[in-house]
Amino acid sequence: MFDRNNQSLRMRPGGKGSTCYTYPAAPATPGLVTADATFQRGIYMNGSLTMDDGRRITVWGFTDGIGGWRKTAFPSPIIRVIEGQIVHTVLRNSGMFWLHTIHHHGIEPSSENDGVGHYSFDLASNATYIYQWKASHAGTYFYHCHTNAVLHVEMGMYGGLIIDPPEGQGTLFSGGPRYDLEVMWVCDEFDSSWHRLRWNAGSCGADVGLNDLNPDYFIISGVDGAQSALTAPGVAVQMNRGQRLLVRYINAGYLPQRINFGGLTASVFMSDGRPFPKPIQVQSLESSSAERYDCIFQPELPGRYIITVEHLDWVSGNTIGIARTQITVS
C-alpha cells in the first residue's frame, strides 16, 4: 500500500502494480539552495507514436509541468541551462502504483540527486522530489528515467539536456566555435513487443524478454526514420551555403550506431560534454549507447545530403536497421 504521508510504498507480489521491493519515501533534498533555473516535470504513460506504416506504438515520457500531465511529447521537453547555474528539476509522480525517477545523464550530482532507482530511491505515486544539480560543463547531455531503466528508456522516457556556455546560445563552449543554427538528433530503436509490457515487467526477476532486443522501428528525435524524418520539422535541416550548423547527436538506443553524413564533412568538437584538444574531421561516426557528439557542418556546395543512421548488431556488426534524414543546402 502507499502511505499518503509519503512514508513508503509496499506492494504484495501478485497484486495490482505488484513488485518485490519496498521503496522508502523520497528524502528532503539535502543542502537545498535557491536555484538559478527550475524545470517542472510530470509523467505520462498514455502516449503513442504513429509510425510510417500506420501502426501506433505506446510511448511514455515526461511533461513540461505538473499540470496537464496527459499532454505528451516524445522525446520529452529539452532542459536547457547555462554553465555555472544551480538547477532544480522538480519531478511530480502523479500516477497510481508506478515508480519513476529522473537521472541527468553525464551530470555529477550527489547520490540523492542522481536519480538511479534503488541506489538512491524511486519516486512513488503522488510524491514530489526536487533534483538539485550544477551545470558544470557546457555540452550535450540527456535525462531519462532510471527505474526499471531497460524498459522505461525503451518506452521513451528521455529528453535532451543542453548546457550552454556563459556566452549563451551560438557558442558551443567557452573559447570554442560559434554556430548559426542547431539541431538535435536523438537516434533510437524500438522493439514494439516491449511496448506492451507493464512498468514493472521483469523487476522481480521474471524473464519477460528484456535481454532479447529485436527492434522493428528506427527513429530520429521521435520521428520514424523510414520516411518521415526526411522532411520532419526539427529533424530535417534547411540551411544556406556558408552557414555553420551544430548537430547535437545522441545515441539514445541500446545498439551501436553508425551515422553517415551523406558526403558532408563534420568537425567533431565534443564528446559526452567534453571538448577534444582539436576538432576531428569525419564523414561518419560510430557510437555506443548513450554517447553524444557535437558536430559542426559548414557546407560550401548547395545540394541535398541524405544522413543515414545504421543500427548495428552487437556481435556481428551487421546493419539491422536504418533511419534517414537530410540536410538541404541552398
Instruction: List pLDDT tens digits, range 158-204.
Output: 999 999 999 999 999 999 999 999 999 999 999 999 999 999 999 88
Evaluate whether 219 touches 253 at the Cβ level (below 8 Å).
no
Alpha helices in 120-257 (DSSP H): 149-154
- pLDDT given at position 251: 98
Global pTM?
A: 0.92
Residue 270's pLDDT is what? Answer: 98
Domains belonging to the chain, first-starting first, are 8-164 (2.60.40.420), 181-329 (2.60.40.420)
Q: Report how far residue 41's alpha carbon sits from residue 293's, in angstroms, rounded to the nearest whole number.
A: 26
Q: Which residue reads 556556455 in cell numbers?
A: 165
Predicted pLDDT at 126: 84
User: How many CB atoms sit inside 10 A of residue 125's CB?
Assistant: 18
Q: Which of 152, 158, 145 is nearest to 74 (CA)?
A: 158
Distance CA 317, CA 9 (A): 43
- Report residue 77 as a C-alpha cell: 521537453
Are 149 and 284 within 8 A, CB to CB?
Answer: no
pLDDT of 327: 98
Low-confidence ranges of the chain (pLDDT < 50): 1-18, 68-70
Residues 305, 319: contact at Cβ < 8 Å? no
Exposure of 21 in the CB half-sphere (CA atoms within 13 A): 19
